[in-house]
Structure 1
């Protein structure tokens, strides 16, 4: 509770929506007005930052995004950095304790489906967890939620419809079809190595439309806490074996930064629309842990 109290004491507004920004997408936080920027190292119990990864900032931004109170995580923690699953989802549980009703998870991803071209966006319809880890595994603390979490609708259908509607409007407004968005299945692998062409072929046969190294742990923790979830991937490259070039983190960052303006436009229109819905959502009340350390 200390970490959540620390956060609430610094909020001028009660954040209703949490946002996690992926690789190269941190520039989107410039949309947040009257922002209070909190370094992770100042938050009680927050896992200490390890080797920094370019494109990930280590800050929490509290403020108004198009008049909507939000809390934006400008850098996520990754399993491939050596964090435990519980550490990776610490920001989600922190925001849940702070009172958010909805979580928007964004990430960079490699495109597998034909329509998954670099610079386009994919709204998650479902996911494949190939990371071999789950933040809900291990000793169960019932204060976080149910032991066995239903994921038949991990990504809220109403939020997906709203996002697709906003994206369709932006596509009509863009010249030459510059804004492209589709819905598909996201596959999460551990990383940090990129996938092999054989793995991509297997993922494609399994129904994956895009692949990345994050997002799913946060989604699992959010759903356990009863939060509504929307997932959006920025397609930064074609997956291994689907294009002649080699894959690089530099390319992911470059495309992510160019696409961040499009993501910001999508969220500009979407957040006020879904914020009205959060006022009608009722979370199950439960006794929460005294702190995030257990």
Structure 2
């Protein structure tokens, strides 16, 4: 299919047939550390292998799951839980990165929840700290939009949804997320650069998805889990195992938080 939107509609049609659900209301993209939220959002009524859905493939990163779920929330909403995230560094192209959120929009969702594990630039945010995303800096030199497609990103990350999250947990901090391309971690100099241009968090996902989500008409809620202090901020060497361990340690608490926020939306 030439159009990424045709492919998204094909994926949404497949999901509708396979789950028996004609419309979903909210989508969740679960990054490192956030997978446990899938079990708390509501009753899972269908689980699909991502690789069987048009445009999706099994995730290439340990800590992500290879399924897409349909869940019924306690208030009767339908949640589409996207465990299969494609990262820009996988080399599959920006269309593949944006496919999940475009499919969510085609499936009827009006809200998308984007989560990630990230490096923190604020030494007061210990590993395991959830941080609301208030804005982003896209350092990938790419865009999911093609041609003369002009989209206002002034209020990309919904202030309304951040207020809902703070009504659940008033202690939640917020900050600006900078997406680098990865898969290597940032150097200390790059971290200082990001800090000087206004970033509080650094990672390898989310920003490109958020842009595509806004273009598709979705209201965007972003939340990061600080899994480590970024290079040069902390003293420990960086590793993916550290990211996974921080996610495991914080998983039950942040998953409950996210489920409570979704219930309040």
| TM-score normalized with structure 2 length | 0.91
1:108 aligns with 2:117: yes
**Larger Cα-atom Rg:** 1
In structure 2, how many angstroms separate the alpha carbons of the residues matched to 1:118 and 1:65?
A: 30
Superposed CA offset, 1:238-269 (max 9, x none): 00011111000001011112222122221222
In structure 2, how many angstroms separate the alpha carbons of the residues matched to 1:7 and 1:96?
A: 12
In structure 2, how many angstroms separate the alpha carbons of the residues matched to 1:268 and 1:80?
A: 29
SS in 2 for 1:18: strand
**Structure 2: runs of 5+ lacking an equivalent:** 1-8
| Contact 1:11–1:63 under 8 Å retained in 2 | no
Q: Which moved more, 1:153-162 or 1:257-266?
A: 257-266
SS in 2 for 1:10: helix
| Residues 43-62 of structure 1: pairs in structure 2 closer than 5 A | 43-44=53-54, 46-49=55-58, 52-62=60-70
Superposed CA offset, 1:182-218 (max 9, x none): 0110110000000100111111111111110000111
In structure 2, how many angstroms separate the alpha carbons of the residues matched to 1:158 and 1:47?
A: 31
**Structure 1: runs of 5+ lacking an equivalent:** 141-146, 172-180, 275-294
In structure 2, how many angstroms separate the alpha carbons of the residues matched to 1:12 and 1:271?
A: 22
The residue number in structure 2 matching 1:226 is 217
The residue number in structure 1 matching 2:99 is 90
The residue number in structure 1 matching 2:4 is none
In structure 1, how many angstroms separate the alpha carbons of the residues matched to 2:16 and 2:57?
A: 21
Aligned mate of 2:152, from 125, 150, 153: 150
The residue number in structure 1 matching 2:3 is none
1:34 aligns with 2:40: no
The residue number in structure 2 matching 1:21 is 30
In structure 1, how many angstroms separate the alpha carbons of the residues matched to 2:182 and 2:157?
A: 23
| Contact 1:116–1:210 under 8 Å retained in 2 | no
Q: Cα–Cα, structure 1 residues 47 and 139, in superposed 2: closer, same or farther, change >3 Å?
A: farther
| TM-score normalized with structure 1 length | 0.82
SS in 2 for 1:9: helix
- Taking only aligned residues, the RMSD between alpha carbons, in angstroms, comes to 1.6
| Residues 188-207 of structure 1: pairs in structure 2 closer than 5 A | 188-207=179-198
The residue number in structure 2 matching 1:281 is none
The residue number in structure 1 matching 2:167 is 165
Shift of residue 33, structure 1, vs aligned partner: 1.2
| Contact 1:66–1:271 under 8 Å retained in 2 | no
Aligned mate of 2:72, from 64, 77, 80: 64
Shift of residue 12, structure 1, vs aligned partner: 4.7
In structure 1, how many angstroms separate the alpha carbons of the residues matched to 2:108 and 2:155?
A: 22
In structure 2, how many angstroms separate the alpha carbons of the residues matched to 1:48 and 1:111?
A: 29
The residue number in structure 2 matching 1:133 is 142
Shift of residue 27, structure 1, vs aligned partner: 2.7
In structure 2, how many angstroms separate the alpha carbons of the residues matched to 1:139 and 1:83?
A: 19
SS in 1 for 2:101: helix
Aligned mate of 1:9, from 17, 31, 52: 17
